[in-house]
């Protein structure tokens, strides 16, 4: 048996796999210093009375045929036959951190190829390929990646959400049966972010064992955490297929999306830090190695009212405020006067832009800013020239009335002519104009997605990828942002072909605090679009001071989303100040290690980012609601070098700046705020610093610098 045991190793995490006769993950946990293959005998299970007389492993494919009785990893059939495959290993290729196991079921005529890579970051990446070895298609109902986790994982954290309310975490107990997330919206979705985190009871930011799993897929999906009746547990994730949607023809292979799994014994921060490192090393690729430019996006400033002269004045003001990339949002193309029409007509609106786009672009560039533009290529408005010419290009099932969403329909990218039309139009836009950046939007769900009468959500998702691939190859210098009514299409697969996410259409700083924190579990700050919006938020009508808005936008890829010409000098001064502060710290923010801090008061959110060399750290404390206690608890500052001395600096504190001395909340400030103070990294991490008493909806920014 020993020669069928192999181990994938990283500095923090190990995975031990038994390969024969059936492949099975035996261990996924902390790195083992003294491991030897014979150790695994200790886990050989007893066989309980009242059940099958054989042991039932949770194999890589979690087949029912082993007596699993839980949710299997594969379901399907060949015209009712060959529906309960059991795969036997025929080949194993193990090289360093990667292993490929090939297995077959000769009776069912199926081959399974399982690829597993344990990255240096500690992230385990798994996908399976299923090949049909026979004549007649094998109908796929389900095809999933299954990962066993330790029996001590009794709690699950997942994310719910909706438009303008993305990435809201919630927790459930995992004691019996399953917790399932299903998404049939045809895109990653605001509602069902494709991730699950299981952990030991009450796991937190700094403590507990956690097993995170994210499915890199921008379409329908299903994720499950299951506690079997025997107490074993596993996570499972798959692309969700609509009835009849997926069949594998003879000789063809279907691949699951990749599952990205991150185990950490050090709580959620450890899990996230591994994910962030994985993305930085393997997925995030900017065309040019340069700081992330500060944006101004015109959307909430002017909406559909495009006047080139006015836009150029906005650009002047933007440049004066320190903006580095200017983006014209929706409204530039033919007939797009509101959101009821014109999607698909990707020609310039010559009434709005009689001289073309080029004078505006040249003007933006003359101000030393990059130029970006908004598109939504996957859509078609019923009121558009494109629809009038090709009503049959809609993604739909014939005979049914297709529901509109935001007054629009979806273009069927599986129709070659429709696909080519988009390539041609986008190539005109991006090839004949000096565009540096594209905000790629997708503003509705897929309902009855059909092609040739068959369900086609999966195919549409793949065609979307292909479209981005074609354009990415043609225009390698252009950066793409993935937007979908804000954060409706945020996942690792779309990130392989994009460079930024629009996290939410909600620029309310209070709401942004929880949205951005939720997103930070899986994504580092440099890909998270974070904009300062209007004083009175357009999504919630709440009002916030510039300080709270500015500080909240600081910890992502910063931008402005407003018209700087219509606000007063104080507001503008605020934009300038926070853009400058972001630039001053963005090297740390975009390359450092992020730490979320557990605070005793649930309405206090704290986080920090520490530079890789641990010379600098930036910490923010946001007080979302009225503090629970008279005194706020000290802020512990994780991530520093214990033996080093740090100078603590107050970088921004709106409350006190606005109301003098201690403000209305304090007679006396914490001492470090008044006299310069240093302390050891160890002290700051373990004991921390006293915090001032904050008002609701304010934040404080603290810097530490090694002396």
| Active-site pick, 119, 209, 330, 441 | 441
CB of 339 to ligand GLA, least distance (A): 6
Binding mask 388-427 for ligand GLA (x = CB under 6 A): ----------------------------------------
Report the site for ligand GLA in 330-369 (rule: CB under 6 A). 330, 339
CB of 335 to ligand GLA, least distance (A): 14
Q: Kindly tell me which residue out of 22, 299, 465, 521 binds ligand GLA, with binding defined by CB under 6 A.
A: 299
Binding mask 305-334 for ligand GLA (x = CB under 6 A): ------------------------xx----
Joined tokens for residue 114: 């399982």
**445 counts as binding ligand GLA under rule CB under 6 A:** no
Task: Judge whether 441 counts as a catalytic residue.
Answer: yes
Q: What are phi and psi of 106, to 5 degrees?
A: -65, -35
Is the Cβ of residue 349 or residue 441 nearer to ligand GLA in the bound state? 441
The Cα 388–Cα 381 span in angstroms is 10
Which stretches of 555-652 are DSSP H helices?
Answer: 569-591
CA dihedral of residues 301, 321, 586, 436 (deg, nearest 10): 60
**652 counts as binding ligand GLA under rule CB under 6 A:** no
Is the Cβ of residue 252 or residue 338 nearer to ligand GLA in the bound state? 338
Task: Judge whether 563 counts as a catalytic residue.
Answer: no
Residues pairing with 181 in the sheet: 223
CB of 443 to ligand GLA, least distance (A): 5
CB of 531 to ligand GLA, least distance (A): 9
The Cα 143–Cα 75 span in angstroms is 7
Segment lying near ligand GLA (by CB under 6 A), choices 101-109, 212-220, 479-487, 693-701:
479-487
Residue 426: other Cβ atoms inside 10 A: 21
Q: Kindly tell me which residue out of 188, 485, 594, 604 binds ligand GLA, with binding defined by CB under 6 A.
A: 485
| Active-site pick, 105, 505, 563, 695 | 505
Give me the residue whose beta carbon is nearest to ligand GLA: 330
- Residue 214: C-alpha distances to residues 8, 255, 489 (Å): 20, 16, 14
Return left, alpha or beta for 356; rule: phi > 0 is left, psi -120 to 50 is alpha, else beta: left
Residues pairing with 222 in the sheet: 182, 238
Segment lying near ligand GLA (by CB under 6 A), choices 115-123, 318-326, 482-490, 627-635:
482-490
Task: Check residue 271 and report its DSSP letter.
Answer: H
Report the site for ligand GLA in 78-97 (rule: CB under 6 A). none
Give every CB contact of residue 208 below 8 A, 6+ residues apart in sequence: 199, 200, 201, 202, 267, 268
**483 counts as binding ligand GLA under rule CB under 6 A:** yes
The Cα 98–Cα 7 span in angstroms is 10
The Cα 600–Cα 597 span in angstroms is 10
Is the Cβ of residue 332 or residue 393 nearer to ligand GLA in the bound state? 332
**530 counts as binding ligand GLA under rule CB under 6 A:** no
Q: Kindly tell me which residue out of 76, 186, 322, 486 binds ligand GLA, with binding defined by CB under 6 A.
A: 486
**14 counts as binding ligand GLA under rule CB under 6 A:** no
CB of 261 to ligand GLA, least distance (A): 30
Length of the chain: 707
Residue 99: other Cβ atoms inside 10 A: 21
Q: Kindly tell me which residue out of 24, 191, 441, 508 binds ligand GLA, with binding defined by CB under 6 A.
A: 441
Number of residues lying near ligand GLA (CB under 6 A)? 12
Give every CB contact of residue 392 below 8 A, 6+ residues apart in sequence: none
Give every CB contact of residue 207 below 8 A, 6+ residues apart in sequence: 266, 267
CB 600 within 8 A of CB 567: no
Is the Cβ of residue 85 or residue 293 nearer to ligand GLA in the bound state? 293
The Cα 507–Cα 549 span in angstroms is 8
Rounded to an integer, what is the distance from CA 39 to the centroid of its chain?
38
**205 counts as binding ligand GLA under rule CB under 6 A:** no
The Cα 356–Cα 350 span in angstroms is 7
Active site residues: 441, 505
> Which residues would be at the binding site for ligand GLA (CB under 6 A)?
299, 329-330, 339, 374, 441, 443, 483, 485-486, 502, 505
């Amino acid at each position: 048996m020993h020669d069928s045991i192999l181990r994938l190793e990283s500095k923090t995490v190990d995975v031990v796999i038994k390969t024969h006769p059936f492949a099975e993950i035996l261990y996924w946990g902390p790195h083992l210093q003294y491991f030897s293959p014979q150790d695994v005998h200790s886990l050989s299970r007893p066989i309980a009375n009242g059940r099958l007389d054989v042991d039932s492993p949770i194999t890589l494919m979690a087949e029912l045929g082993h007596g699993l009785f839980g949710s299997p990893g594969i379901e399907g059939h060949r015209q009712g036959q060959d529906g309960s495959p059991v795969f036997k290993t025929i080949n194993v290729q193990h090289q360093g951190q990667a292993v490929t196991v090939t297995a077959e079921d000769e009776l069912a005529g199926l081959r399974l190829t399982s690829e597993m890579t344990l990255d240096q970051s500690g992230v385990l990446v798994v996908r399976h390929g299923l090949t049909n070895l026979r004549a007649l298609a094998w109908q796929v109902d389900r095809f999933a990646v299954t990962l066993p986790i330790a029996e001590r994982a009794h709690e699950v954290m997942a994310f719910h959400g909706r438009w303008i309310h993305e990435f809201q975490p919630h927790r459930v107990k995992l004691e019996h049966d399953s917790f399932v997330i299903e998404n049939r919206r045809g895109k990653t979705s605001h509602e069902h972010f494709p991730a699950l985190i299981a952990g030991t009871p009450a796991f937190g930011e700094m403590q507990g064992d956690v097993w995170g799993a994210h499915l890199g897929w921008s379409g329908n999906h299903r994720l499950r955490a299951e506690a079997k009746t025997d107490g074993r547990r596993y996570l499972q994730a798959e692309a969700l297929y609509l009835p009849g949607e997926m069949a594998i023809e003879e000789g063809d292979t279907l691949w699951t999306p990749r599952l990205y799994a991150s185990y950490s014994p050090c709580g959620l921060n450890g899990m996230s830090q591994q994910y962030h490192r994985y993305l930085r090393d393997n997925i995030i690729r900017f065309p040019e190695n340069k700081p992330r430019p500060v944006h101004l996006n015109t959307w909430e400033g002017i909406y559909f009212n495009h006047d080139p002269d006015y836009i150029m004045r906005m650009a002047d003001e933007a440049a004066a405020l320190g903006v580095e990339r200017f983006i014209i949002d929706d409204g530039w193309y033919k007939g797009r006067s509101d959101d009821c029409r014109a999607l698909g007509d990707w020609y310039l609106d010559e009434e709005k832009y009689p001289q073309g786009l080029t004078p505006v672009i040249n003007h933006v560039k003359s101000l030393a800013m990059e130029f970006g533009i908004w598109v939504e290529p996957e859509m078609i408005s019923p009121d558009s020239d494109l629809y009038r010419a090709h009503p049959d290009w809609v993604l739909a099932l014939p005979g049914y009335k297709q529901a509109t969403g935001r007054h629009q329909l979806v273009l069927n990218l599986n129709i070659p002519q429709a696909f080519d039309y988009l390539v041609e139009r986008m190539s005109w836009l991006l090839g004949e104009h000096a565009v540096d950046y594209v905000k790629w939007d997708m503003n509705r769900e897929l309902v009855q997605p059909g092609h040739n009468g068959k369900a086609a959500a999966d195919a549409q998702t793949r065609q979307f990828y292909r479209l981005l691939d074609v354009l990415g190859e043609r225009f390698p210098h252009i950066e793409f942002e993935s937007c979908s009514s804000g954060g409706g299409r945020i996942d690792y697969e779309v990130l392989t072909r994009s460079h930024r996410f629009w996290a939410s259409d909600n620029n309310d700083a209070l709401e942004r605090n929880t949205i951005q924190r939720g997103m930070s579990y899986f994504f580092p700050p440099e890909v998270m679009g974070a904009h300062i919006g209007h004083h009175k938020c357009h999504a919630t009508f709440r009002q916030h001071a510039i300080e709270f808005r500015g500080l909240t936008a600081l910890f992502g890829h910063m931008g402005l989303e407003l018209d700087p010409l219509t606000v007063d000098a104080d507001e503008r001064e605020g934009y300038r100040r926070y853009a400058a502060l972001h630039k001053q710290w963005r090297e740390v923010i975009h390359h450092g290690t992020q730490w979320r801090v557990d605070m005793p008061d649930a309405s206090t959110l704290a986080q920090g980012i520490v530079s890789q060399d641990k010379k600098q750290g930036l910490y923010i404390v946001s007080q979302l609601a009225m503090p629970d206690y008279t005194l706020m608890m000290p802020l512990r500052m994780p991530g520093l070098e214990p033996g080093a001395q740090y100078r603590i600096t107050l970088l921004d504190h709106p409350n006190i700046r606005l109301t003098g001395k201690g403000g209305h909340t304090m007679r006396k400030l914490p001492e470090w705020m008044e006299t310069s103070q240093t302390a050891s990294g160890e002290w700051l991490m373990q004991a921390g610093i006293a915090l001032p008493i904050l008002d609701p909806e304010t934040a404080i920014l603290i810097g530490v610098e090694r002396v």
